[in-house]
Structure 1
Amino acid sequence: MNEFNIPLSRVMVLERTLEHGGTVICKLQRPEASLDAKIYVENDNTTHHIKVTIGPLASSLTLPRKLATKRQSLRDFLQNLANGRADSGAQSEEALALMDAQESVEKVLLIGQIAYVITTTNPERPFGAVVTNDQGEVCAAATGSSKEHLTAAVRAKLRPGEEGSGNRT
């Protein structure tokens, strides 16, 4: 077998990283070569948000925290990416850009607001966001050419006339 695999000892490290979050380097091996996968895990109450970089490839994965097979799912995802069986890098770059835009927009939200960031069909403004409150009412909607532009547009709609630092209040 000439495919990249993750040794069992590294799978256990992946499991700890999933539970606690953070960054880890995972070595994928095959007889004649090895690859390092840089894995960043960010957790919330219900999901693990995972960003992976292997050489020039970047991809992301979201797993439910309660999933009994999450360790194996992450292992399979990494091995598939290393062995060329994953989505194209362009699609993965889009997913990472969306995650970055989501994080950026969340910094300007007020308490009780939720942002939904999506791609649009407009190539000049490829990012879109809708912000709702706890009751599901729309507080703001905007599009932007970059995560910074989108964040500024959302901030302007949520706090008209205010030039703030972008911190949650």
Structure 2
Amino acid sequence: MSEFQIPLRQIMLLQRTLDNGGTATCKLQRPEATVDAQIEIENDSTHHIIKVTLGPLCSSLSLPRALSTKCQSLRDFVQDLANGRADSGAQSEEALALMEAQVSVEEVLQTGQTAYVIATVNRLLPLGAVVTNDQGDVCVAVTGISKEHLAAAVRAKLQLGPSDLGAHA
């Protein structure tokens, strides 16, 4: 049985809801099923106060607004809840590796860009990153072996001009 995952489009929805507050319905998928998580976010000057309802389960989370990996933390929290790991106080090795990779990739971004770092199913390239601009257009999509390799791949693709991307993609 595979686990519920949040698709990239839904991660982008989570990011917007974190930024603006309010409510959202986030779809989680696995091959044989889809479930909806209801997410309510209240923002104050320092924290995001988050309530997640998934069927009969309800849990809450508070994240610092300044945390660069807050979207990934929320994604992991919702996926843990959907997959029966309601006690997500202890972060997994994978979650920590994703947060470290997120920080590494963010260091090479240009102004107006947002990175989404994910785990892939490829054991040889276990990390993936998608970088979007302010309009939500994909600027770069890469995979990597480690956080350093992923950040270097993002940096290399961002240094190519738009006309170069088609020739090297």
* Partners of 1:87 and 1:76 in 2: CA distance: 12
Q: 1:58-81 CA distances to partner (integer Å, 9 max, x unpaired)?
A: 000000000000000000000000
- Which is higher, the Rg of structure 1 or of structure 2? 1
Q: SS of the residue aligned with 1:48?
A: strand
Residue 55 of structure 2 corresponds to residue 55 of structure 1: yes
TM-score (norm: length of structure 2): 0.51
Residue 44 of structure 2 corresponds to residue 44 of structure 1: yes
Shift in Å, 1:87: 2.8
* Partners of 1:14 and 1:87 in 2: CA distance: 21
The aligned amino acid for 2:52 is V
* Partners of 1:57 and 1:86 in 2: CA distance: 9
The aligned amino acid for 2:75 is R
Q: Across the two proteins, how many residue pairs are aligned to each other?
A: 88
Report the equivalent of 1:120.
Answer: none
* Partners of 2:75 and 2:18 in 1: CA distance: 11
Q: 1:73-98 CA distances to partner (integer Å, 9 max, x unpaired)?
A: 0000000000001139xxxxxxxxxx
Report the equivalent of 1:126.
Answer: none
Q: Which runs of 5+ in 2 are unaligned?
A: 89-169
Report the equivalent of 1:70.
Answer: 70
Report the equivalent of 1:164.
Answer: none
Identity score, percent? 69
Q: Any residues of structure 2 matched to 1:139-150 within 5 Å, and which?
A: none
* Partners of 1:54 and 1:86 in 2: CA distance: 11
Report the equivalent of 1:8.
Answer: 8
The aligned amino acid for 1:33 is A
Shift in Å, 1:4: 0.1
* Partners of 2:30 and 2:20 in 1: CA distance: 28
Report the equivalent of 2:155.
Answer: none
Q: Any residues of structure 2 matched to 1:20-169 within 5 Å, and which?
A: 20-87=20-87
The aligned amino acid for 2:74 is L
Q: 1:19-69 CA distances to partner (integer Å, 9 max, x unpaired)?
A: 100000000000000110000000000000000000000000000000000
* Partners of 1:10 and 1:79 in 2: CA distance: 12
TM-score (norm: length of structure 1): 0.51
